[in-house]
Chain A
Amino acid sequence: MAVAGIDAGSATTKAAIVKNGELSAYAIVPTGANGRNASAKALEEALALAKLTRIDLTKIVSTGYGRRNVEFAENAVTEITTHAKGAKTLFPSAMTIIDIGGQDSKVISLDEDGRINNFVMNDKCAAGTGRFLEVMARTLEVALQDLGKLSISAEKPAKISSMCTVFAESEVVSLIAQGEKREAIIAGLHEAISKRIAGMVKQVGLRREVVFTGGVAKNVGMKASLERVFGLKINIPAEPQIIGAFGAALIAEEGTIIS
């Protein structure tokens, strides 16, 4: 008995296969211009890794920005519910979940029984999300995956005041022109995002343990920056990018959510 979860995100599409409550395989593919193809491709790749075929799947649940366009999924569940489910399963003492994805960021607060108590999401623009970091990495001529380790080596973060991708980019350009070190600029960007996340966390109340998910959680500089802002240790799953898909698969297995 196997089930699958598909997280159709704005930047990447993830598929997770779950068997008896355990993750058995996953795949991450770029969403690109055709979300429907990406979902099918992610599922095929994950199935191949799990040495299964579609017939072996008893249920598929979709989540993420494109959840309603995953035609082969029986149910669609929001990314808030699936991230909560996935993070809580991996970290049973999780109370606060921070998720920073390609185009949105969210903070979810759980109650003692693991049910969602409250949540906040960023407004309609992509300020302070994965897309924001992607644009900044390009401006700084740095590979996205190098942002984290470069920022760690900064002596002091540069000051970035704007969270609007367009305005922050011009700030970065002027900092470069002033001769500010690249490391310091990146650390400054991380700090600006952390402060914005801290504002969202305050709205729901910070309670330990804190779990950080989404593609941006792979950035070690972001983790360090958030830990500095909150003054506590943050937990990150081994593969933070697939927590939505994993949560969706767990929900498929339970069959608890009827949409």
Chain B
Amino acid sequence: MAEKYVNLWKSLDIDLEKHNQLLAVLPQIYTDLVLSQKNRPKKMDYFDFVISEIHGLRVEELVKLRGEGNKIIGAFCLYAPEELAYAANATMVGLCGGADFSIPDADAVLPRNLCPLIKSFYGFKIGLTCPYFQCCDMLVGETTCDGKKKVYELLNEHVPTYIIEVPHKPDTVQGRSLWLKELEEFKTQLEKLTGNKITAEKLKASIELINDKRKALKRLAELRKATPAPISGLDALIVTQIGFYDDVKRFTAKVNELCDELEERVKNGVGVTDKNAPRLMVSGCPMAVPNWKLPSIAESAGASIVVEESCVGTRYFTDMVEPKGDSLNDMLEALVEKYAKIPCACFTPNDARIESIDKLAKDFKVEGVVYYTLQFCHSYNVEAVKVGKALKSEGVPMLKIETDYTMEDAEQIRTRLEAFLEMIRGKK
């Protein structure tokens, strides 16, 4: 990939030498963790290709879009309303960092006790190693985490960063009204940035566009209810991760093609594991590309991950945006409704998340939950207490893993996961 895109990266001010080091390690990791899996669906080939072109083809597309006068908006959270961005003819890309690689750059500035996801994305920006960051005309941050909120202020020194205030009590009248006002203000900002008016018609079209993407991912999730699951948790995670930066229409079509193949598999009882593999849910913090550590350890130890209760998982696609009418206001109200239903751990109380985990555990015949929390992510870390209690009363065992992006604890995690699987098998 390096040769072909050097000029593209140069035009984006990428630190070529450092960037080469990053690209040099990725193919090996992908081969070892992903391509080495057994019984992979054939239609994963598209997603393998997208990862192989991670800083190439898609970046080229974004640069082309920009050249045609379109704006690129970088986002870090499900609360950045994609529908509004696309209604303004802008394109949104997820910028959450999932790599240890960029953390040393961030460490030069940020405090040590901060979550790796924040450090990773900040390091990518200041280290000039992420072409997606370099494509962005505007970043949209949100107030779901204090660490992110403060780092957005620092990012604003490099690229205009607009902050949406997410209400922490979304079910209250004041929460809903704040959220509506925030969406309206974001809409105004987008119109100013792009010079395009967001009309009811355009918003309707973009709601459909994004709903279709969510529906495709939901279809993929539903297929994993089968025993044995027709796709590994790691592959499903990679698909969802790609959904945050790929072209929406193409991605939706490719996910549906994959689902067609998986439907056949389910019909024929074909899976990626034997039918006795313990079925796990992973619940907790998001996993951004290339954070594949936990699912790859769990599945190589014999687990079958069947659902991710995560922002890179069910929280993204469980609910659709469903306007009651065709007016702009109807659609904004529908956005308020949909987004208030994403059970982020920044909400208080967050009973909807606990209920959703219980329901997913039942629907997906989950035999154990791996609660995944990134270091220093206080909200997900503390919420594990309530989740653990709720699961215990349902008789579903939970294993909590707190980790970062380094591989130094991989063997300890493997031991815990293997013991967890032995425990589940012992109870069968």
Q: Which residues of A contact B (CB under 8 A)?
A: 65, 77-81, 104, 115-119, 121, 123-124, 257, 259
Q: Report which of A65, A79, A81, A121 forms a contact with B426, defined as CB distance below 8 A.
A: A81
Q: Could you say which residues of chain A place their CB within 8 Å of the CB of B416? A: 121
Residue B82 lies at the interface, judged by CB distance under 8 Å to chain A? no
- Is B411 touching A81 in the complex (CB atoms < 8 A)? no
Closest to B408 in A: A124
A-B contact pairs, 14 of them (CB 8 A): A65-B411, A78-B415, A78-B422, A79-B415, A79-B419, A80-B419, A80-B423, A81-B423, A81-B426, A118-B397, A119-B423, A124-B412, A259-B302, A259-B418
Q: Could you say which residues of chain A place their CB within 8 Å of the CB of B157? A: none
Distance of A115 Cα from B425 Cα, bound (Å): 10
For residue A73, give the distance in angstroms from its CB to the closest CB of chain B. Answer: 14
Residue B363 lies at the interface, judged by CB distance under 8 Å to chain A? no
Distance of A104 Cα from B423 Cα, bound (Å): 19
- Is B402 touching A81 in the complex (CB atoms < 8 A)? no
Distance of A118 Cα from B419 Cα, bound (Å): 10
Q: Report which of B408, B412, B425 forms a contact with A257, defined as CB distance below 8 A.
A: B425
Residue B409 lies at the interface, judged by CB distance under 8 Å to chain A? yes
- Is B302 touching A123 in the complex (CB atoms < 8 A)? no
Q: Could you say which residues of chain A place their CB within 8 Å of the CB of B419? A: 78-81, 116, 119
Residue B324 lies at the interface, judged by CB distance under 8 Å to chain A? no
Residue B38 lies at the interface, judged by CB distance under 8 Å to chain A? no
Number of residues on chain B facing chain A (CB within 8 A): 16
Return the CB mask of B338-357 against A: 1 if under 8 Å, else 0.
00000000000000000000
Residue B150 lies at the interface, judged by CB distance under 8 Å to chain A? no
Return the CB mask of B371-404 against A: 1 if under 8 Å, else 0.
0000000000000000000000000010000100
Determine chain B's interface SS by DSSP, over half rule: helix
Distance of A123 Cα from B423 Cα, bound (Å): 20
- Is A124 touching B409 in the complex (CB atoms < 8 A)? yes
- Is B427 touching A115 in the complex (CB atoms < 8 A)? yes
Q: Could you say which residues of chain B place their CB within 8 Å of the CB of A81? A: 419, 422-423, 426
Distance of A119 Cα from B417 Cα, bound (Å): 11
Q: Could you say which residues of chain B place their CB within 8 Å of the CB of A119? A: 419, 423
Closest to A77 in B: B422
15 other A-B residue contacts (CB within 8 Å) besides A65-B411, A79-B415, A80-B419: A77-B422, A78-B415, A78-B418, A78-B422, A79-B419, A80-B423, A81-B422, A116-B423, A119-B419, A119-B423, A121-B415, A121-B416, A257-B422, A257-B426, A259-B302
Distance of A161 Cα from B302 Cα, bound (Å): 40
Query: If A115-B427, A259-B302 touch, does A121 touch B422 (CB 8 Å cutoff)?
Result: no
Q: Could you say which residues of chain B place their CB within 8 Å of the CB of A104? A: 412
Closest to A251 in B: B422
Number of A-B pairs, beta carbon distance below 8 Å:
43
Q: Could you say which residues of chain A place their CB within 8 Å of the CB of B402? A: 123
For residue A109, give the distance in angstroms from its CB to the closest CB of chain B. Answer: 10
Closest to B410 in A: A124
Q: Could you say which residues of chain B place their CB within 8 Å of the CB of A77? A: 422
Q: Could you say which residues of chain A place their CB within 8 Å of the CB of B409? A: 124
Residues of chain B in range 235-274 having any CB-CB distance to chain A below 8 Å: none
Q: Could you say which residues of chain B place their CB within 8 Å of the CB of A115? A: 423, 426-427
Closest to A66 in B: B411
Q: Could you say which residues of chain B place their CB within 8 Å of the CB of A78? A: 415, 418-419, 422
Distance of A115 Cα from B397 Cα, bound (Å): 13
Q: Could you say which residues of chain A place their CB within 8 Å of the CB of B412? A: 104, 121, 123-124
Distance of A259 Cα from B416 Cα, bound (Å): 15
Closest to A111 in B: B427
Distance of A13 Cα from B423 Cα, bound (Å): 24
Distance of A104 Cα from B408 Cα, bound (Å): 15
Please give me the 10 A-B residue pairs with the lowest Cβ-Cβ distance, nearest first. A80-B419, A78-B419, A124-B409, A116-B423, A81-B422, A78-B418, A115-B426, A124-B412, A78-B415, A121-B416
Q: Could you say which residues of chain A place their CB within 8 Å of the CB of B411? A: 65
Distance of A51 Cα from B382 Cα, bound (Å): 55
Closest to B416 in A: A121
Q: Could you say which residues of chain B place their CB within 8 Å of the CB of A257? A: 422, 425-426
Distance of A80 Cα from B425 Cα, bound (Å): 14
For residue A52, give the distance in angstroms from its CB to the closest CB of chain B. Answer: 28
The interface centre, meaning the residue of B397, B409, B418, B427 with most chain A CB atoms within 10 A of its CB, is B418
Closest to B402 in A: A123
Distance of A53 Cα from B412 Cα, bound (Å): 34
Closest to B423 in A: A116
For residue A123, give the distance in angstroms from its CB to the closest CB of chain B. Answer: 7
For residue A97, give the distance in angstroms from its CB to the closest CB of chain B. Answer: 12
Q: Could you say which residues of chain A place their CB within 8 Å of the CB of B427? A: 115
Q: Could you say which residues of chain A place their CB within 8 Å of the CB of B408? A: 124
Q: Could you say which residues of chain A place their CB within 8 Å of the CB of B415? A: 65, 78-80, 121
Distance of A104 Cα from B416 Cα, bound (Å): 12
Distance of A121 Cα from B411 Cα, bound (Å): 13
For residue A167, give the distance in angstroms from its CB to the closest CB of chain B. Answer: 15
Distance of A121 Cα from B418 Cα, bound (Å): 13
- Is A80 touching B422 in the complex (CB atoms < 8 A)? yes
For residue A235, give the distance in angstroms from its CB to the closest CB of chain B. Answer: 22
Distance of A104 Cα from B425 Cα, bound (Å): 24
Q: Could you say which residues of chain B place their CB within 8 Å of the CB of A123? A: 402, 412
Distance of A146 Cα from B397 Cα, bound (Å): 41
Distance of A259 Cα from B417 Cα, bound (Å): 13
For residue B364, give the distance in angstroms from its CB to the closest CB of chain A. Answer: 22
Distance of A119 Cα from B402 Cα, bound (Å): 15
Q: Could you say which residues of chain B place their CB within 8 Å of the CB of A116? A: 419, 422-423, 426
For residue B293, give the distance in angstroms from its CB to the closest CB of chain A. Answer: 13
Q: Could you say which residues of chain A place their CB within 8 Å of the CB of B418? A: 78, 259
Q: Could you say which residues of chain A place their CB within 8 Å of the CB of B423? A: 80-81, 115-117, 119
Closest to B426 in A: A115
Distance of A39 Cα from B44 Cα, bound (Å): 42
Closest to B425 in A: A257
Closest to B302 in A: A259
Distance of A79 Cα from B422 Cα, bound (Å): 11
Distance of A49 Cα from B409 Cα, bound (Å): 37
Q: Could you say which residues of chain B place their CB within 8 Å of the CB of A65? A: 411, 415
